Amino acid sequence: MTASIIDGKEFAARVRAKVAEHVTALKEQHGVTPGLAVVLVGEDPASQVYVRSKGKQTVEVGMASFEHKLNADTSEADLLDLIAKLNADPQVHGILVQLPLPDHLDSDLVINAIDPAKDVDGFHISNVGMLGTGQKSMVPCTPLGCLMMLRDHHGSLSGMNAVVVGRSNIVGKPMAQLLLGDSCTVTIAHSRSKDLPAICQGADILVAAVGRPEMIPGDWVRPGATVIDVGINRIERDGKTRLVGDVHFDSAAQVAGAITPVPGGVGPMTIACLLANTVTAACRAHG
């Protein structure tokens, strides 16, 4: 069997087009331009790339982008002061503090200082709690993008066995909550799980979010399963830098029914969902 490819790049373009329509409607009907503030502390090169990309795509869908670049030695008090200002700013509907933060800053404290209604990352403890109890909340962008692709591919996910490999607060845990919300039978596995291959082999839906290059080979994949690869790992191969996922794509694609590639799978969906969350926040504030 050769898997069909779930094209996240194309899907993300459709999501952005929908977002742009909502932005136009908000402008015309309510005189409101949705705005996203992105805060970057320090000079982490990967974070700089993400933040640039977020700013560019925000503007492309017609929203206002506010970038705040702070020095790596910014104090917690100064960062909290900026967040308080953004919370109070009516032009700002979404606030994202790029992670990881430098070590001297307490990420939980900083994230929980964001107004939950503007927390477009869905990381605030109140949004985490609402997601866990099935209430309407801001949903973290990467798992939301995965869920959208799965729903698009399968229609209903009800009753399917879903295995999420990875237990991060950003992807693994919210992904499991979302799949449970769609009536999957959910297993969260991780690097310490006993007999990981057997757990993965039981999955109708296998979500890999461990951050280890090509850790999941094709023989861990159940024939016909849908594989969602969240990993974005930079490796050196044949003297070149390449991006690979957490799944060994070539072997998994021989077995799976459908699979997301890296790059061009989950990655583009993350920023598209960030834009969708920002327009949702603006609609809730003004719509």
Q: Should residue 121 be labelled a site residue for ligand GUN when binding is judged by CB under 6 A?
A: yes
Instruction: With CA atoms as reference, report the closest residue to 229 among 240, 239, 251, 241.
Output: 251
Catalytic residue among 57, 118, 119, 121: 121
**Annotated binding residue 188:** no
Interacting stretch for ligand GUN, rule CB under 6 A, among 69-77, 91-99, 180-188, 232-240?
A: 91-99
Interacting stretch for ligand GUN, rule CB under 6 A, among 92-100, 150-158, 173-181, 227-235?
A: 92-100
Considering the complex, what minimum distance in angstroms separates the CB of residue 114 from ligand GUN? 10
Binding-site member from 64, 70, 80, 99 for ligand GUN (CB under 6 A): 99
Q: Which helix (H) or strand (E) holds 42?
A: none
Q: Should residue 283 be labelled a site residue for ligand GUN when binding is judged by CB under 6 A?
A: no
Considering the complex, what minimum distance in angstroms separates the CB of residue 168 from ligand GUN? 10
Q: Should residue 127 be labelled a site residue for ligand GUN when binding is judged by CB under 6 A?
A: no
Q: Should residue 97 be labelled a site residue for ligand GUN when binding is judged by CB under 6 A?
A: yes
**Annotated binding residue 168:** yes
H helices present in the chain, as ranges: 8-30, 45-60, 76-88, 107-111, 125-132, 141-154, 172-181, 196-201, 249-255, 266-286
Does residue 44 have an active-site annotation?
no
Considering the complex, what minimum distance in angstroms separates the CB of residue 11 from ligand GUN? 18
Q: Exposure of 243 by Cβ count < 10 A (0-12 exposed, 13-18 middle, 19+ buried)?
A: middle
Considering the complex, what minimum distance in angstroms separates the CB of residue 99 from ligand GUN? 4
Q: Should residue 96 be labelled a site residue for ligand GUN when binding is judged by CB under 6 A?
A: yes
What are the φ/ψ torsions at residue 162 (nearest 5 degrees)? -110, 130
Does residue 152 have an active-site annotation?
no
DSSP-assigned beta bridge partners for residue 208: 165, 229
Residues 10-49 that bind ligand GUN (CB under 6 A): none
Cα separations in angstroms, 185 against 169, 179, 188, 266: 20, 8, 10, 22
Instruction: With CA atoms as reference, report the closest residue to 197 among 219, 176, 223.
Output: 219
Does residue 240 have an active-site annotation?
no
Residues 230-259 that bind ligand GUN (CB under 6 A): none
Binding-site member from 40, 141, 272, 281 for ligand GUN (CB under 6 A): 141
Interface residue list for ligand GUN (CB under 6 A): 96-99, 121, 141-142, 170
Positions marked catalytic: 54, 98, 121
